[in-house]
């Protein structure tokens, strides 16, 4: 029987400039082939859309962890995309997931254009 569950869902932006960093970081930190992956412009920008994906991932794959990654200079945010705004949106996303799935761990990261991952508390 093929495996039916996985550890995590990862959500990040579509931006081509970051994909190499994301691939490398995910391999190091989540492992190969061990997560559901959502690539959507703005990362958690469209929280309703993201929430639906988490819902499906949880239902089908019994995930234990959610990883949200927003990034510097995100075109989906435009001028409004300050670091503070990204952090606020990431925290709001965490609150929403927590409300519905209290058993799931949630990790937040802010990714710079230079490829540095910074945890958001």
Contact between 13 and Zn ion per CB under 5 A: yes
Q: Closer CB to Zn ion, residue 74 or residue 106? A: 74
Q: What angle do CA 60, 65, 62 make, to 5 degrees?
A: 20
What is d(CA 10, CA 1) in angstroms, rounded to the nearest whole number? 25
Contact between 50 and Zn ion per CB under 5 A: no
Residue 43's nearest CA partner among 79, 99, 90 is 90
Given 6, 15, 63, 110, the residue binding Zn ion (CB under 5 A): 15
Q: Closer CB to Zn ion, residue 10 or residue 63? A: 10
Per CB under 5 A, which region of 52-60, 71-79, 86-94, 110-118 contacts Zn ion? 71-79
Given 74, 93, 104, 120, the residue binding Zn ion (CB under 5 A): 74
Q: What angle do CA 95, 101, 106 make, to 5 degrees?
A: 55
Q: Closer CB to Zn ion, residue 63 or residue 74? A: 74
Return the CA Rg of the chain.
14
Query: Which residues contact Zn ion (rule: CB under 5 A)?
Result: 13, 15, 74
């Amino acid at each position: 029987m093929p495996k039916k569950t996985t550890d995590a869902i990862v959500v990040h932006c579509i931006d081509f400039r970051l994909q190499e960093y994301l691939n490398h970081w995910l391999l190091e930190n989540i492992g190969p082939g061990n997560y559901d992956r959502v690539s959507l412009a703005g990362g958690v920008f469209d929280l309703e859309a993201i929430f639906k994906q988490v819902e499906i991932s949880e239902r089908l794959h019994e995930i234990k962890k959610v990883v949200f990654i927003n990034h510097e200079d995100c075109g989906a945010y435009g001028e409004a995309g300050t670091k503070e705004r990204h952090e606020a949106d990431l925290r709001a996303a965490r609150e929403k997931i927590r409300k519905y799935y209290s058993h799931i761990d949630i990790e937040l990261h802010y990714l710079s254009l230079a490829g540095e991952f910074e945890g958001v508390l």
